[in-house]
Homo-oligomer: A and B are copies of this chain.
């Protein structure tokens, strides 16, 4: 390519890198030749020379077909693209044993940073990598055995607020249906549920405080909870999957039990179901921003240098979206 333009490789490099000290005439002829030869600078070679500094970041997600993670990924992609970086996406299929392999594959691609939804019980294996200069930010859940930035929801506060709203609406027998006792988010949401009950001098009825883990049995658990004689007058779900199961269990007859879902979901508004909502895409954007801060890529409204601040935990706020479902015909 360089020879085709009648200049040295270095001059081509200068042109494509946008360096200033090139004669306009030279620049033009180089650009012309580049166009003719379909020349595209090789970012791989550049990364190699500059010491493995790539423009890709890795995002390890559990299951992309979950709308929540998809929305987070959309936010990540968007924020990265704004800074000329791209997202290498890998999924663990929610298999804890797969996490390390998947992370390894991304690191072998020399990603410049790592975003991770932790699935494995322990992330200490990342410590060495972190020290070698690859920043790690966890999303949705904090890491275990690793000090890292994390972007998480106000799980407990959101659940507390929702539960309190149900209590204020007159409910006394409120149930919680979580999906997985091994997930810290589900635990925190139940904690918020319990503390709100306790604050009102109440407690969950036996069998009305469920945390799973349910794999395929979620629909059945919802049916059991809502079909019995002693069914609760209100339910708070642990996530959008649980919300879907509750709707399936109740059919379209949503007026008999008050429902608040954790996670907003499509049609929740049409069905009049109250939800604990938040901006999932913003979560992704904030996580990406955390990583970019560590990499020294300034934000648009750049003020201070954030590459060396101590590990941060960014709390993403939730808001209770009040819809018809807060009350119900069986309200006492």
Contacts and interface: CB of A to CB of B under 8 A. Distances in A.
Interface of A: 38, 40-45, 47-48, 52, 54-56, 63-65, 67, 70-71, 73-74, 77-78, 81, 84, 86-91, 93, 102, 104-110, 128-129, 132, 244, 247-248, 251-252, 254, 265-267, 269-272, 281
A89 B108 contact: no
A262 to B, nearest CB: 15
Contacts of A89: 73, 77, 86-89
A251 B270 contact: yes
Given A90-B86, A247-B267, A70 B77 contact: no
Q: Give the most central of A48, A65, A77: most B CB within 10 Å.
A: A65
Given A42-B110, A65-B71, A74-B65, A56 B281 contact: no
This chain: copies in complex: 2
A315 to B, nearest CB: 22
The binding surface of chain A is classed by DSSP as mixed
A281 B64 CA distance: 10
Given A65-B71, A86-B106, A248-B270, 4 more contacts: A48-B48, A87-B88, A248-B267, A267-B267
Contact of A247 (B52, B270, B281): B270
A159 to B, nearest CB: 22
A86 B56 CA distance: 12
A88 B93 CA distance: 18
Given A38-B132, A247-B267, A77 B48 contact: no
A52 B74 CA distance: 28
Given A77-B90, A78-B91, A108-B41, A244 B267 contact: yes
